[in-house]
Amino acid sequence: MSSPAVPVTAPVAITIRSSGRRYARFFGNVATRSVAIVALALIWEIVPRLGLVDATFLPPLSEVLVAWWDLARSGELWEHTQASLTRSLVGFALAIVVSIPLGLLIGWYKPVANLLTPLLEVFRNTAALAILPVFVLILGLGETSKIAIILYACAWPILLNTVSGVRTVDPLLIKSARSLGLGPVSLFQKVVLPAAVPTIFTGIRLAGAYSILILIAAEMVGAKAGLGYLINYAQYNFAVPDMYAGIITISGIGLIVNQLLILTERRFSTWRTN
């Protein structure tokens, strides 16, 4: 004899339905966000094959993916990606280490702001690529100049957003904390810094994008490895699918870096309600 079926209690049924709706919502969001990417991929594949653009200069996406796979299988793509990531991460990390403490100092202490703001205004309006030749002349064509230009480019969005985050904390929140007897150090640690975290991470995410974009331009000048070098080399040798493969790799890296920074922001902003 078969054992009698165990009835599903109401709380369990509600939990199952809730989980089902949550998963359906998740996959629905993924599908919605993927529509534009899928559409772009289809257009990229179809348009060259229909002859609407010259396939010599814009090969179908399938050919680019084949070239990407060949580069990955040979290890060449990983070699260039590793070189680019190393330079980018070192410059990006140095920018965080330098800019956040300096931004907190400028935003919190007015005498420091009065002293440094004029100097910052001069350099913040100077594009990183405009002074790339200066870095090359002073530091040479090696790794130092490339890391330095990334540091310079990434420092500004982090620094400016950190200063803005500290200065735009709700004054009522600060007054309330002071009325509870918090001293300057405790006020900064427990009120100002947590309130400034979202703005600081906005700057960090912008800097993460800059670290990739500026690096690619820097690698096109005197580099012997890196994704920028790969794209430039493929262009000169008319290996167009390889060139687009490098571009796709950069886009993928930028997307991954942005998502990792979003997850990190959520980790440090657990007090926020979504």
Per the CB < 8 A criterion, the answer to whether 197 and 81 are in contact is: no
Block residue for tokens 């002349």: 137
* Residue 1 confidence class, pLDDT cut points 50, 70, 90: very low
63-268: CATH topology is MetI-like fold (1.10.3720)
User: Quick count: other Cβ atoms within 10 Å of Cβ 245?
Assistant: 26
| Each residue's pLDDT tens digit, 156-182 | 999 999 988 888 877 787 777 777 777
Where does the pLDDT of residue 99 fall: very low under 50, low under 70, confident under 90, or very high at 90 and above?
Answer: very high
User: Taking the model in full, what pTM does it have?
Assistant: 0.76
State the average pLDDT for the chain.
Answer: 82
Polymer length in residues for the chain:
274
As a whole number of angstroms, the distance between CA 215 and CA 239 comes to: 22
| SS3 state of residue 112 | helix
C-beta separation of 235 from 171 below 8 A: no
DSSP E strands in the chain: the ranges are none
Instruction: Cite the beta strand spans of 53-210 per DSSP E.
Output: none
Q: Which of these, 210, 250, 267, lies nearest to 96 by C-alpha position?
A: 210
pLDDT tens by residue, 102-142 = 988 888 888 888 888 888 887 777 778 788 888 888 888 78
